[in-house]
Amino acid sequence: MLDSLLPDSAPTNSHVHHIKNKTPDWLLQAGPAVHASLRKFSGHAPQWLKDARTSSPAQLDELQRLYAEHRRNEQAVGPTLDRLSTLEDFAKPLLTAAIKERFKLDIDVGNTWLFHASHATVDPSFETASRDPIAQANTALKAANQTLLAAALQNFEAWETASGAMDSDAGIKAEVFSSFEVIGNYIGGKSVPIVPTAFAALCRELDLGGRYQAHLKSVFSTPSTPEETPGAAASRLRNDFMQLESSAIRLQLQIATLQGLVSEPLQTALLQVLDGRKDVRLDNRPVNCSVLCLGDVELNGLFVIGKDRDTATGLEKIVVYIPEDPIAPLKEYASVAVFINSLRDRMFVKGYLNFFKRFIPARHRNAVLAQLFERLHPKVMKGGIFERQWLEREEDRNARMHLRETPLNGPLLDELYDRKQAVLRDDALFQGVPTADEDQKTFDERVQYFKSKALDVLNIASFVVPVLGELMLAVTAVQLIHEVYEGVECWAKDEKQQALTYLFDVVENIALMSALGAATAGGAGIPALHVPEFARDLKLVELQDGTTRLWKPDLTPFAHDIVLPASLQPDAAGLYTWQGKQWLPIEGRLYSVKPGKTGDGYRMEHPTRADSYQPALRHNGAGAWLHELDQPLDMEGLTLFRRLGYSSEAFSDTTARHLLNVSNTSEAAMRQALADQVRPPALLEDSAQRFRLDQEIDRFIGQMAANDPNASAAVQLELLSQDHRWPGNRALTLVDAEGNTLQTFPPAHETVTRDSLITIRVDQPDALRQALEKLSNLEIRTLLDEEFGAGQPSVSARLTTLRATLTARAKATRAWLFESRYRALNVADADGAQTLQNAFPGLPPAVVQELVGHATPVERAQLITERRVPLRIAEEASVYLQHIRLARAYEGLYLTSVASADTDCLALHSLEALPQWPSQVRLEVHNRFFGGPLIDSIGPQDAPIRKVLIKDGNRYEARDADDHHLHGLDDLYSSVLHALPDAERNQLGFPHTGQGQALAALVQNNPLPRQDLAPLLNMQAIKPGSRSPMRLADGRLGYPLSGRGEVDWHVTDESLLDKIRILELEDAFPEDILSRLRQTGWNNREIDQRLNTLLGEQLDLRASLTAWTDEVIAMSPMSQTHIDSRERISEAIWSHWRLNNLPEIGRTFEPLRLQYVSLTDFPRYLPDFVYARVTGLHLENISIEPRLYPGAAVAQPVDVNLPRQLTNTFELGHFLQRFPNARSLHLISETSAGLDPQSSVFLNLPQWVSNMLPQLYEL
């Protein structure tokens, strides 16, 4: 039923169920007025309540629990209070009916007036002697009027029923008016035909006061059921009212505690009293309870609690409870005097006396209020001695209150209940006088009451504790918001407003559905909620304590404003440890993370709220992290690269693009690694390591050149140990702070003993200074080649000299240093890795690790126990070696530390492939001298312009065709620019010969494709759609970008190429296919839609063939012939799909080629597009060998009485009918194929095959 609250487009209905579960039952059962008030006061929470939400959440939760209990207690007494009518509600219908019966009049007894003329008396006292007699008479006449209802409730004495008894001595007649007017000393109006004395007689007979007393008694004297003991029901009712009183006091006590208005000792004492404990003590003195009195009048419902003050020697603190007091309903005071002063101050607050009068019994209310007014506002003589004087009322802020206490001897709750019931009955007696009691009144009492206008609606609500109104609605709103939402304090103002509106809408609709009950089956008649866009995105999450909340999916509040030290390095998982916490950088922000309690990944920690929701994180162990809001299938470009753990601090965007090109890593492969939380492709990891090493060497050389002692200690020590002047009997050892050896650097030539080791601490500054301090002066002079007999330089000077020497050596031996550092990387440590590494030493550690990680258990056992590389892994490794060679060629374009002939070949032919390369130029590269062996060349042999580059090591010298010198030894790019004539160099876009670096950047951004480079390096040709045995080196599976693009620029070329790669088309490279798709006139969005359709087909076909493969499990054991047949069928179906799925680019339709298979093995169920796309069939050496299908009872021919050949023909016909669009059929049967003649389908092929395929035009 709750599901109907939300429209179809709304988020999951779990939101609605969550809100319902968090909403108190009493609120769901409340009416529209309460819900409207909840909305109103939700934004008016007092500051203490807001503070408590963060400082005392447990106490606030307890407050809400107490309020829910209070509402339950209200419901318990609800039926009783529903039966308890107010005096007016009780009396009005009885009086109306009696008048109608007696006088045949249907009148409004609350708006019809009795003029009791005998009560129109003037005060004859001396006080009023000077007043205007007309005015006095006017007042008396008005006072003698009462509504019939009020008069009936006050009742009449017997003598007032006699004729003329209500007339005045002055001859003024009593009368009943429907309306009246008093002018001067005259009263007149519209008379009602009721004789006043007859009305009095009716009232005495009716005895409304007596009846109401009986009504009260019946309500509070509920009879027990036959199964109960006598008085059980009344006792239960009494207990219900006492529990209601208790819950109200506990509520106010909890509020006072949250506000800091009650100390813990007195709070505990009051709770013990409410629990019914006897002999409650505080500081080893008894705790007493008392009620308050104003003069001799006891105030109803108020009480005081505190230590016994009769024996006190000093001031004692007290707690005073004044139900629903607008200033302090329950508060601790330092003494009785302090409370009295506080109460007196409240009396001067506007409206407070009107509130306070509810505690004064009706019988004494007017008199007590008058006395209070006289004390608080006494008349004070004004004017001077010799001036006119007058009396004027003035506030007396020190007025005596005449407050006193009456001790309570019994339990507090019992005493309060008994006193409240007594006051209720007495108020009823006072306002609704039984006939018997009326006869006991004196005349003056009756007249005085008549004049007082004291009739109030009987305050039944004062008998129970009223609800706490605005405050508890504000508390409920704050609590409900907290219970439903998580982190709301961090939301924007408009988000908060949307969330509140949505919350209250849901609560109101659930309440409405509950109220309507069965009438709302299916949500009929209830409008669907409008769900704000903000609310749609909220996510239901579980907090640390197991509770659930709706959370705004946003990690911004979890980011910490902290800067990590620049020298801090991450661990293998990509985490930084600092100040006792683990830190994770994600997209420019830092987050504090910790392992999850259940061991399932990590959790984010909020900067300030320990109880906050902790978003989940998972990682691949190699620096790639995903948080729960990540959608890796929606990521593209460098975002994927960064999220795999390669930060922008480590690799700039330009470097990142170069790295991806070197490793030939597609976005789809990165997306798959990130989504599945596996390590990145091995070549990407290896290339990243090599790029990082090159950058570290760059950084090292720069630091050393700047005389920076913080340059890498390991590199310094490695260079130092290899210096030919380093003491041959001394080795260097780098250790950590605990003395653990990190790396040892032996000298280049001699062996050393343990005693000659020089230990360098990595945690101490300046590794070179540490090394020099442990050498003798002679060793230092030899190392630095200091002149014999010269003065000894300072340590600083020697360090500067040594750093300059090592800097020069690092530059000169950069390639060696790079390879040395690369070899020092950890070899793959997986079981069996060493076996593979030994067999294929050219494999990088990352590749070895990947291959071993993807080995089957059988293959891993061969690697470990037999120390033999399985065939599948060996084949994959061989393919990998080809790709590694290509990667090394491409990395040479970008890394300073590596150089190779392959890179030079790539660079040279990349230049030739540039559109602006001058085609009239032939450039040849010869080894060592002009006539030396030809290494490489670009440009046609008959080109009119011929230039020659002579290679010497890694440098080149430019010559013309006649061996004339053009430029000395330089790098390749500068040499090419010097070799080109001015016109051709300008055509290339370089007017100056000194633009070698710019030319290098041009080549770096436009390198030759791999498929074009491989033949130039005499490598095996790269075929499109190729797949290596393990699909790691080639044909690696990946995930395409999810289709979200709504405008063209959202769909990148790389995304389209990724999808084309995943299609594994075998007749063209992805770049060529994309180019041909563009030639159709499609934009990127249209191309993306077409590719998405094909990817969907690919998934459907894969699922279908997987189900077909799984059928084997249910079959009887299968011969190898049929196993091979099924493999060939699968390959044929895939090949046909790949070759025929893009006719838009001019691809011709290829037939479905089935060779050396049994048609019985062909899948029974394939997607419709497979059959529809087959326009031709090529069946070569096929057979039909009936087999047992899953679920079949027996294996047998179609008809055991038919010849085998005819049966085969029927099977063939059934097969052909599955391809309604086939227009050609090629059947080939070779005797040399060795097929069983009985199983062949080609012997005596019936002519009716063509009739079965009417569209067939070739057979």
Least confident residue range of 216-230, 829-843, 1168-1182: 216-230
Report the pLDDT averaged over residues 792-798.
Answer: 90
Side-chain-side CA neighbours of 767 within 13 Å: the count stands at 27
In order, the DSSP letters of 336-387 are HHHHHHHHHHHHTSTTHHHHHGGGS-HHHHHHHHHHHHHHHS-EEEES-TTS
pLDDT at 124: 55
Of residues 1068 and 450, more confidence is placed in: 1068
- SS3 (DSSP) at 179: strand
- β-pairing, 379-382 vs 330-333, is unpaired
What is the C-alpha separation between 141 and 499, in angstroms, rounded?
62
Is 60 exceeded by the pLDDT of residue 404?
A: yes
- As a whole-number percent, the residues of the chain with pLDDT over 90 amount to 58
Is 80 exceeded by the pLDDT of residue 465?
A: no
What is the C-alpha separation between 669 and 674, in angstroms, rounded?
9
How far are the Cα atoms of 815, 1104, 1109, 1180 from residue 1164, in angstroms, in the given order?
61, 10, 11, 20
What is the C-alpha separation between 296 and 989, in angstroms, rounded?
111
| 251 within domain boundaries | no
Q: 1170 and 1096 share a domain?
A: yes
Residue that terminates a domain, selected from 169, 188, 207: 207
Residue that terminates a domain, selected from 207, 227, 243: 207
Q: 1119 and 1229 share a domain?
A: yes
What is the C-alpha separation between 693 and 818, in angstroms, rounded?
7
Q: 595 and 743 share a domain?
A: no
Report the pLDDT averaged over residues 411-432.
Answer: 92
Report the pLDDT averaged over residues 366-386.
Answer: 86
Report the pLDDT averaged over residues 428-446.
Answer: 68
pLDDT at 719: 93
pLDDT at 343: 96
Average pLDDT, the chain: 86
Read off the pLDDT band of 349 (50, 70, 90). Answer: very high
| 1119 within domain boundaries | yes
Residue that terminates a domain, selected from 423, 447, 476: 423
Q: 742 and 621 share a domain?
A: no
What is the C-alpha separation between 681 and 1111, in angstroms, rounded?
33
Q: 929 and 974 share a domain?
A: yes
Q: Which of 719, 710, 627, 716 is nearest to 674 (CA)?
A: 627
Q: What is the pLDDT of residues 1180-1207, one digit of tens each?
A: 888 876 544 443 333 333 343 334 444 4
Six-digit token string for 142: 């008005």
| 991 within domain boundaries | yes
Domain count, the chain: 7
Cβ pair 953, 970 in contact under 8 A: no
Q: 182 and 292 share a domain?
A: no
- As a whole-number percent, the residues of the chain with pLDDT over 70 amount to 88
**What global pTM score does this model have?**
0.77
pLDDT at 1208: 60
| 802 within domain boundaries | yes
Is 80 exceeded by the pLDDT of residue 1253?
A: no
Q: What is the pLDDT of residues 67-117, one digit of tens each?
A: 989 988 988 998 888 898 999 999 999 999 999 999 999 999 999 999 888
Least confident residue range of 178-192, 940-954, 1099-1113, 1182-1196: 1182-1196
Q: What is the pLDDT of residues 567-615, one digit of tens each?
A: 888 998 999 999 999 999 999 899 999 998 877 789 999 999 988 999 9
What is the C-alpha separation between 689 and 623, in angstroms, rounded?
13
pLDDT at 1237: 46
Cβ pair 810, 697 in contact under 8 A: yes
Q: What is the pLDDT of residues 697-743, one digit of tens each?
A: 999 999 999 999 999 999 999 999 998 899 988 899 999 988 899 88
| 845 within domain boundaries | no
Read off the pLDDT band of 1053 (50, 70, 90). Answer: confident
Q: What is the pLDDT of residues 735-764, one digit of tens each?
A: 998 889 988 888 866 665 656 789 999 989
Q: 570 and 531 share a domain?
A: no
Range of the domain at 1242: 1092-1252
Q: What are phi and psi of 265, to 5 degrees?
A: -60, -45
Q: What is the pLDDT of residues 919-966, one digit of tens each?
A: 999 999 999 999 999 999 999 999 999 999 999 999 999 999 999 999
Report the pLDDT averaged over residues 1020-1041.
Answer: 91
Q: Which of 1036, 1049, 171, 218 is nearest to 666 (CA)?
A: 1036
| 442 within domain boundaries | no
Least confident residue range of 181-185, 626-630, 731-735: 181-185
Read off the pLDDT band of 522 (50, 70, 90). Answer: very low
Q: 599 and 711 share a domain?
A: no
- SS3 (DSSP) at 226: coil
Cβ pair 348, 395 in contact under 8 A: yes
Least confident residue range of 636-645, 811-820, 1007-1016, 1049-1058: 1049-1058
Q: 704 and 669 share a domain?
A: no
Q: 1227 and 1199 share a domain?
A: yes
Read off the pLDDT band of 445 (50, 70, 90). Answer: low
Q: 541 and 569 share a domain?
A: no
Q: 992 and 1123 share a domain?
A: no
Read off the pLDDT band of 1257 (50, 70, 90). Answer: low
Is 50 exceeded by the pLDDT of residue 675?
A: yes
Q: What is the dihedral of CA 1177, 1181, 1187, 1192, to 10 degrees?
A: 10
